[in-house]
Amino acid sequence: MLLPTRSFAPMSNQSPLPEKQAGLHQLYSEDPQRADEIVWGRKVNPLSRRGFFERLGLASMTAAIGSEIVFADKMPSGLIPAALAQSTEPFLIPGKEGLSVMNDRPLVAETPAHLLDDAITPAKHLFIRNNGLAPAPELLDADKWTLEIAGESCEKPTTFTLKELKEKFTHHTLQMVLECAGNGRSEFNPPATGNQWTTGGVGCPKWTGIRLADVLKHCGIKKDAVYIGYYGADAHLSGDPKKNAISRGVPIAKALEDESLLVFAMNGEDIPVQNGHPLRLMFGGWAASTCGKWVKKIVIRDREHDGEKMKGHSYRMPHYPVAPGTKVPEEDMVIIAEMPVKSLITFPKSGITHPAADKLAVRGQAWVGEGAVASVEVSIDFGITWQKAQIEKPANRYAWQQWRTEVSFPKKGYYEIWARATDDQGRSQPMVLPGWNPEGYLNNSCHRLAIQAA
C-alpha cells in the first residue's frame, strides 16, 4: 500500500525533471512532527510517540494500513510502518529501468528492493551515484581510451591504451557487490545531508577486467608506496576543469588483492555509460566510492591519497561512538574501509496482500565487506522471534549470497517481515539503527517489508 503521494508537497521546484516529491523517509528525517501530522492527520507529541501509538495511534495506523497489526504491542516506538515507507519514483534514464531518482544534478538513482531479486544484478537495475557530471557518451570511445599510471611511488610512469591493457594482461571475471557507503542514510536522525538513500544503493553484477596489481607491478611499485588514487573523466559540478568531482583510492595492500580489478565489461557486455564505461575500478567489499568510474589515471602514492572527497568528513566515520547530533572534529574521523554485514528482502515486494492460510516464500540477498555471511534469519513479530533461512554459498569472494525461506502467519492482519544477516565473525545487523554519525554512513539495520495477510 502506498500513501497518497499528493499529501507530500514538492520540497523544491528548481528541478527541470518532472515534479519531485518528498518521500516519507525524507519527510520523517527533515520534520518528524510534520510527517506524523501528515501520516496520522493530527498533532503528535514527539516525546511520547510510544504513548501515542498505544492510546490513539494504533486505531488510525490500523485504519491507514487497512487491517490489524497483529504484533502491534511489540512494534518499537518511532518506527514508520514499512507499509507507509515506500517512496519509489520511476524516471527514465537510458538503459535503466525502475530506478528511483534521488537527485538529477549530479544524477543519483537507487534500485527498489524487489528489483534486486536476480542472483546477478542486470545492468538496467544497477544504481547510479555520480558526484559530478558524467562524461558525454561520445567522449567514452573504448577504442581511443587511455589509462595513465603515475604518481611519486611509480617507477615507470606509463600510458596504456585500453586495447593494450586488454591484450597484455590476463582477464578475470568475478561477481562483486558494489554498495555506496551512504546507502540507508535516510533513516538517521538528526538527518545527515546528502542523498537520502533508502536501501537501493547496492547491486552485484559480474565484472570482467584485469588485475590492478598486474598493471601496477608492470609499472613498478616503489618501496615507499602506501596508497593509490584514481582520476575519472567526469567533470566537477562547477564545470571548473581544474577541479575533480571525486578522486579517492585505497591502501596499497587492498589495491594489490587478487580481486581488485580494472574492469571493462559487466555481465559480459559494455559497462553502462552511467556506471563507468569504458573502464572502472572494482574493489570487493569496500565503499563503492573507492571504485572510480571512467578512470583515466591512477597514481601510486607515498602517502594517503589526498584527492577530492578524501579529507574532512567525506567517507569518514568518528573512531568512537558519538551521541546523535554531535559535531565531531575532523581529526577524530577515519576513512571507511570495508562495508558492514547487510541483507535485503527482494521477494515478495513490500505492500503485497497474501492469503493468511498459505505459506509465503521469502527470499533476498546478504553480503558483508570482508568474509562471508554465515546465517540469515527472518522475523514476522518485530524481531521477538527469528527463523533461519537457507543460504547459498557466494559465487566467489565478495559476491552476495542468496537466501530463502517460507513464513506462516498465525492469523489475518498486518505484518512486517524483517531479515537479519550474521557474518562468519559473528557480527549481525542491528534491528533498528546502528551508530549515528555526522554524514550518515554505514546504516546496516534490518530491512523491513510490509505484508497484509488476508
Ligand X SMILES: Nc1nc2c(c(=O)[nH]1)N[C@H]1C(S)=C(S)[C@@H](COP(=O)(O)O)O[C@H]1N2
Cell numbers at residue 214, please?
Answer: 598486474
CB of 131 to Mo ion, least distance (A): 8
CB of 202 to ligand X, least distance (A): 9
* Cα separations in angstroms, 133 against 228, 243, 306, 402: 23, 12, 21, 34
CB of 364 to ligand X, least distance (A): 20
Indicate the residue among 126 and 362 with the shorter CB distance to ligand X: 126
Indicate the residue among 131 and 186 with the shorter CB distance to ligand X: 131
Binding site for ligand X (CB under 6 A): 126-132, 178, 180, 232, 234, 245-246, 275-276, 288-289, 291-294
* Type of residue at 82: A
Q: Which residues contact 103 (CB under 8 A, 6 or more apart)?
A: 195
Q: Residue with the closest Cβ to Mo ion?
A: 180
183 binds, among ligand X, Mo ion, none (CB under 5 to 8 A by kind): none
Indicate the residue among 180 and 317 with the shorter CB distance to Mo ion: 180
CB under 5 A: which stretch of 11-19, 128-136, 137-145, 445-453 binds Mo ion? 128-136
Please say whether the dihedral angle defined by the alpha carbons of residues 266, 270, 272 and 276, taken in this order, is positive or negative.
positive
- Closest to 287 measured CA to CA, from 334, 244, 329: 334
292 binds, among ligand X, Mo ion, none (CB under 5 to 8 A by kind): ligand X
Indicate the residue among 101 and 180 with the shorter CB distance to ligand X: 180
Cβ(390)–Cβ(404) below 8 Å: yes
438 binds, among Mo ion, ligand X, none (CB under 5 to 8 A by kind): none
183 near Mo ion (CB under 5 A)? no
Alpha-carbon Rg of the chain, whole angstroms? 23
Indicate the residue among 180 and 335 with the shorter CB distance to ligand X: 180
Strand partners, 421: 376
CB of 371 to Mo ion, least distance (A): 22
CB of 123 to ligand X, least distance (A): 10
Residues contacting Mo ion: total by CB under 5 A = 4
Q: Is 82 left (phi over 0), alpha (psi -120 to 50) or beta?
A: alpha
CB of 279 to ligand X, least distance (A): 10
Residue 137: how many other CB atoms lie within 10 Å: 11
DSSP string computed for 260-312:
-EEEEEETTEEPPGGGTTT-EEE-TTBBGGGS-SSEEEEEEESSS---TTSST
Report d(CA 123, CA 86) in Å as an integer.
23
128 binds, among ligand X, Mo ion, none (CB under 5 to 8 A by kind): ligand X
Indicate the residue among 106 and 413 with the shorter CB distance to Mo ion: 106
CB under 5 A: which stretch of 185-193, 285-293, 319-327, 350-358 binds Mo ion? 285-293
Q: What are phi and psi of 135, to 5 degrees?
A: -60, 150
Q: What are phi and psi of 386, to 5 degrees?
A: -130, 145
Cell numbers at residue 194, please?
Answer: 546528502
CB under 5 A: which stretch of 127-135, 230-238, 304-312, 372-380 binds Mo ion? 127-135
* List 20, 129, 206, 254, residue binding Mo ion (CB under 5 A): 129
At residue 250, the 3 state secondary structure works out as: strand
Indicate the residue among 200 and 413 with the shorter CB distance to Mo ion: 200
CB under 5 A: which stretch of 37-45, 49-57, 176-184, 445-453 binds Mo ion? 176-184
* List 100, 111, 289, 452, residue binding Mo ion (CB under 5 A): 289
* List 22, 140, 162, 180, residue binding Mo ion (CB under 5 A): 180
- Closest to 196 measured CA to CA, from 208, 206, 184, 181: 184
Per CB under 5 A, residues contacting Mo ion are 129, 180, 288-289
